Every structure is written in structure tokens, then in C-alpha cells.
Amino acid sequence: MTMKFRMERHPANPLLIPDRSSPWESVNVFNPSVIHHNGLFHMHYRAEGEDWISRIGYAVSADGISWNRLREPVLVPRDELENRGVQDPRVTEIEGVFYMAYTAWMCRDGVHGCYPMIARSTNLVTWERIGPIVTNALEYNKDHVLFPRRIKGRYVAFHRPHPNVCIAQSDDLVTWKREDMATVFGPGSETGWDAMKVGMNGVPIETKHGWLCFYHGVNRDSHYHTNAILLDLDDPTKVIRRPEGPILAPEEVWEIRGDVPNVVFSNANILVGDTVYVYYGGGDHVIALATCKLDAILDYVLNG
């Protein structure tokens, strides 16, 4: 695939692999969220063991490359509404408090559904549920993530009522009204890498040009890729520029094979110094890192 801009993979990839000695993360570790706080990298990641129920694990690192994991998960399914697992964490710090957006999967009488949930923490390890952005599990709304600050006094989140990326707004993170929701962008060209659906990746990065956001797209063969997009700072429903993409495609053997083949799926794009760190799941099986310089990705998003 010809790509106008390429994220650079780290030579130590994959950084995290399943831990055979740990029942809840013995099969797959993937789709990490990472934040950089007080000089440390903090990762929350989706993990599966032999029961195939997703739980959220936590790891910490001084350099973003070598990680120390907690022995026990930090978020596990709580009740019937989460009985099929908790997936795809995306942690945002807002005004000194951490919020985790995660997907809660349930199954009742053979019918599956999911909620875009939010939980809150002050220490990154103990989490208290706040509630979902959308309450109807049969809407399959997911890929939600909170912005790092309020806009015009309100909390803002991306979410994904299939197949489009949308915005929701709230005064208290509990009540999310339909009239405060709006579509931002949808799938790309019929035959392209993002033909079927799109969803947001990690927390948007505020720059003087706009919100620099990373998103994934799924093609007709169910392959997952990543691209970047620039949105208006005051009104993030306005797209400033969406280059064609992608900037990260499944290429390595552990991205092309894995548990689910041909997947690069990221919930983390953090700015540390002048570098953007994109952490992602390869093949729904391992965790990897790709980076780029902020200047270079902004030039691509504006002109590429």
C-alpha cells in the first residue's frame, strides 16, 4: 500500500505479550490506553484469558518501552450489564481527575449488546463507574473517548454510533442528551481502507492548528488501519482537514496474523516532548508502539 506518511514502529515491538502464568491475560493483551503523568507512562489495556472475558490490566513505565504490570486486573466485569467483558479503555485526565471510557459488553437471553461506559479514578488503579453515554445496548455504540478539557464550559466526548464518528456533550458526565450529539465524519471511499466504518483512537491532542485526532477505519475485508484528522478547536464537529491516509497499516507478522488477523487498533496517541507515541494492539494479540514527530504529522494533516 502506498502511504504518504508512515508512523515509525519501535524496534523493541511487540512491547507486551500475553502472560501464560496469569489466567486473565494468558491469551491476548491488546488495545492499550496510555497517558503520561508526573514523568511516568501509565497503560490500561484489554486482556483476555481462557474464559474469553475481557478485563482491563494496568502497567507502568519510566521510558514508555519497558513495562511493569500489576498482577491483578484493575477493572473486571461487575454485573449482568458487563457479563461479556470490559474492553478498549481510553483514559483522559481532566482537571486532575482520570476518566476511563470503556466498552461494556453484555449478553442476555442470547442477545449481545454494548454500552459506551465512563469510570472515574484519582489514582489510576481503583475505578468507580459513572455511567454510559448511551443506554441502549442494541445501538452498539462504542469507540468513545473524552476530550482533555471542557469546550465552552461543557465536557465533550467522541462516540461511535455505527458507522460514523460523533460528538456528545454533557454538563456533568452523567447526562448525555441526544440533542447534544452530532456527526463529525463517516467512512471514506467505497473501496478504501476506511470503507465500512470509522472510530476514534486516543485522546485528541490540542495544537494551535486544531485538535489533532487519530482514528481507525475498517475496509471491506475487515482490516483495521489508522489515520489522523484535524478538527476545529472551538467546534470539533468541524473537520479542518482529513488527509487520505492511512499512516499505519497491518504489515508485521504479529499484525497480519494474531488472534484477529490484519488489525492495528490504537486507543493511545500521546504527545511527550515533540514526539507522538501511538500505542496499539497488533492482531488483537500483542501491544506495540509506533511514533512520529508532532511537526511532521501536523504537516501531513495540513498538506499531505
- In the set 14, 73, 132, 281, which binds ligand BMA (CB under 6 A)? 281
Q: Which of 169, 149, 171 is closest to 158 using CA atoms?
A: 169
**With binding defined as CB under 6 A, does residue 278 bind ligand BMA?**
no
Q: Which is nearer to ligand BMA, 82 or 284 (CB)?
A: 284
User: Which residue is it, cell 492499550?
Assistant: 32
Minimal distance, residue 284 CB to ligand BMA, in Å: 5
Q: Which helix (H) or strand (E) holds 255?
A: helix 253-256
Q: Which helix (H) or strand (E) holds 32?
A: strand 28-37
- The stretch among 2-10, 110-118, 186-194, 260-268 that binds ligand BMA (CB under 6 A) is 260-268
Q: Which is nearer to ligand BMA, 37 or 162 (CB)?
A: 162
- In the set 48, 194, 255, 284, which binds ligand BMA (CB under 6 A)? 284
- In the set 28, 61, 87, 219, which binds ligand BMA (CB under 6 A)? 87
Which triple of cell numbers denotes residue 196? 465500512
* Chain residues 88-127 in contact with ligand BMA, contact rule CB under 6 A: 88
**With binding defined as CB under 6 A, does residue 194 bind ligand BMA?**
no
Site size for ligand BMA (CB under 6 A)? 9
- In the set 3, 130, 181, 260, which binds ligand BMA (CB under 6 A)? 260
C-alpha count within 13 angstroms, C-beta hemisphere, residue 288: 28
Please report, for residues 112, 263, 292, the alpha-carbon distance to residue 288 in angstroms, rounded to integers and kept in the order given: 30, 12, 14
User: Which residue is it, cell 478539557?
Assistant: 149
Binding mask 3-42 for ligand BMA (x = CB under 6 A): ----------------------------x-----------
User: HEC string of 52-102?
Assistant: CCEEEEEEEECCCCCCEECCCCCECCCCHHHCCEEEEEEEEEECCEEEEEE
Q: Which of 183, 233, 195 is closest to 212 using CA atoms?
A: 233
Which residues on neighbouring strands pair with residue 108, listed in sequence order? Answer: 111
Report CA torsion sign: 104, 251, 66, 49: positive
Residue type, 170: S
Q: Which is nearer to ligand BMA, 196 or 297 (CB)?
A: 196
- The stretch among 124-132, 230-238, 258-266, 289-297 that binds ligand BMA (CB under 6 A) is 258-266
Q: Which is nearer to ligand BMA, 75 or 301 (CB)?
A: 75
- In the set 98, 176, 211, 265, which binds ligand BMA (CB under 6 A)? 265
Binding mask 207-236 for ligand BMA (x = CB under 6 A): -----------------x------------
| Rounded distance between C-alpha atoms, residue 121 and residue 12, angstroms | 31
Q: Which is nearer to ligand BMA, 17 or 260 (CB)?
A: 260
In the complex, the residues that contact ligand BMA under the rule CB under 6 A are: 31, 87-88, 224, 260, 263, 265, 281, 284
